[in-house]
Amino acid sequence: MEMRTQSSPDIPNSIGPFRVLRLLGEGGMGAVYLCERMEQFSQQVAIKTLYPHLFPAASEAAIEREGQVLAALDHPGIVRMLDLGVTDTGLRYIVMEYVDGIRIDEYCDIHRLSVRRRVELLLGTLEAIEYAHRHLVVHADLKPANILVTSEGKSRLLDFGVAAVLSDQLASQSGNTSYTELYASPEQRAGERLTVASDIYSAGLIAQVMLTGQEPRPATIGIDRSHTEGQSTAISARALRGFPKERLEKIAACRDATTNGFIASVRGDIEAILSKALQPNPQDRFESVQEMCDELRRHLFGYPINIRPAGWITRTHKWVLRNKVAAVFALAFLLVAVSSVAGVVYQARNAARKRQIAQTRLHDLVRLTDVLAGELYSSVHGLQGADKAQDALLASARQTIDALATEDEKDPELSVELAQEYEKLARLELSRSPQTAEAHRESVEELNRGLSILVRLPANDPAFTEARQRIPEMMRLRDDAMGRVAR
């Protein structure tokens, strides 16, 4: 868009009940102005004036009907259409929220967002598109310039449905388009009826720019798509490696990565998702934007995506990557189990070493419980069903520690470790959100068990001085938890 100043002679002083402050830019459908309401109350808005030749007089009733549908869209990721109007001179205009932001591709590069963070930002826009599709509205002009990111890092989608409002009116007017051809789908360029598949193709091009740095090229797929099945326009990781070194290094630097790290981040899942979205034939793309979102989320969370075949090696590798702590726990559990079995056999052969081996096993289990209730507990936080998973982890850890306390009450050194484990469990209970009375009661019981162990330690033995110094702090935690239960 071309930027102009308020002093330009062709900028109006007012549009309807709004005073024009300055020209924000011009595009294929008209000019966009920053305006403020002159009466009733102060309000800044963005007003798009539409070129008269796009709106024959007979289309006004249809445009009004479409405008009512678009104005009803209410999503935090969509810039609201507030009103439609016509000036005294017959110039039709659209009143929208004013958003002070940066176009999404520029925002990503300025802030050197990684490929992962770019996917997270893109998901917000895709969710807004999916919301509108559920309300039977197609955007029809998706491009980076129509997606602004605010200073808070939230994406807002502009001009939602404006092109769709015009599409029926433009169908019989050769040479007129209400979309950006560089980001248009093959069927849109062919003048066919628009569907959600057209938005999916455009969203795929936006994703390709954001994630790979590859700008769309003038369309190479003709409007006859009968011989283009499977020929996606998406770029591959192999093609990226063919870029000039300086260009590839610049793209990688904008994504806060080395060239090899950048290539690795888009190889595989991202390649497959872009390829699916950018199929030339609409029926070969994702069935919905929601399906595309689901695949991107599966990639982010380390799950195999559905559109890419994955063998057991790939699935195991992804499971380990997304469950590193759990994988360590499983290996540790296996080692402890093997060690325990070997210990039983050894004890049967050598009763004299039974006590020593039992103590070793108990120490291993205490450390294992620490992993169970600590790192693994944290790793499920924020995932779906995390509350139930955390309940199960804490219950398992509590049962293990209770069993150890019963088995080895006469070992003061191990008792100190058990008291520490009870305190850790209590702190985990108290750190949960939201807080519950049940969590407070459990923490009180755990602190009491730990305190009962510490107060039985020999008071005059220097070896236990540090451990006994925890008593006042644990009593303070217990009293605080008891106070929460009483409330």
Kindly give the confidence (pLDDT) of every residue in the chain, 487 residues in length, as a single tens digit, with 9 standing for 90 and above. 334 444 444 788 999 889 999 998 887 677 899 999 887 777 899 998 887 776 655 456 656 666 677 778 889 999 988 888 888 888 888 899 999 999 999 999 999 999 999 999 999 999 999 999 998 888 888 999 999 999 999 999 988 755 555 444 444 443 445 567 889 999 988 888 888 999 999 999 999 999 999 988 765 555 555 545 556 778 888 889 999 999 999 999 999 999 999 999 999 899 999 999 999 999 999 999 999 999 999 999 888 899 876 555 555 555 455 556 555 656 665 566 666 666 555 555 654 454 555 456 555 555 555 555 555 556 555 555 556 666 776 777 777 777 766 655 566 777 787 788 888 888 887 877 677 788 888 888 888 988 888 888 887 888 788 888 888 888 988 888 888 777 6
pLDDT computed for residue 3 by the predictor: 40
Ordered by start, the domain boundaries in the chain are 101-219+229-317, 323-486
- Judging by beta carbons within 10 Å of its beta carbon (0-12, 13-18, 19+), is residue 464 exposed, middle or buried? middle
CATH architecture for segment(s) 101-219+229-317: Orthogonal Bundle (1.10)
Q: What is the pLDDT of residue 6?
A: 45
Q: How many CB atoms lie within 10 A of CB 343?
A: 19
Specify the pLDDT at position 94: 87
CA–CA distance, 105 with 124 (Å, rounded to integer): 14
Rounded CA separation 352/360 (Å):
14
pLDDT at 174: 39
Q: Is the peptide bond before 304 cis (omega within 30 degrees of 0)?
A: no
The pLDDT value recorded for residue 7 is 44
| CA of residue 131 relative to chain centroid, distance | 16
- Give the Cα-Cα-Cα angle 170, 175, 179 (nearest 5 degrees): 60
Look up residue 384 and give its DSSP letter: T
Judge contact between 144 and 103, C-beta under 8 A: yes
What is the model's pTM? 0.62
* Distance between CA atoms of residues 366 and 343, nearest Å: 17
Instruction: Map residue 19 onto helix, strand or coil.
Output: strand
Other Cβ atoms closer than 10 A to 25: 14
> What's the pLDDT at 409?
57
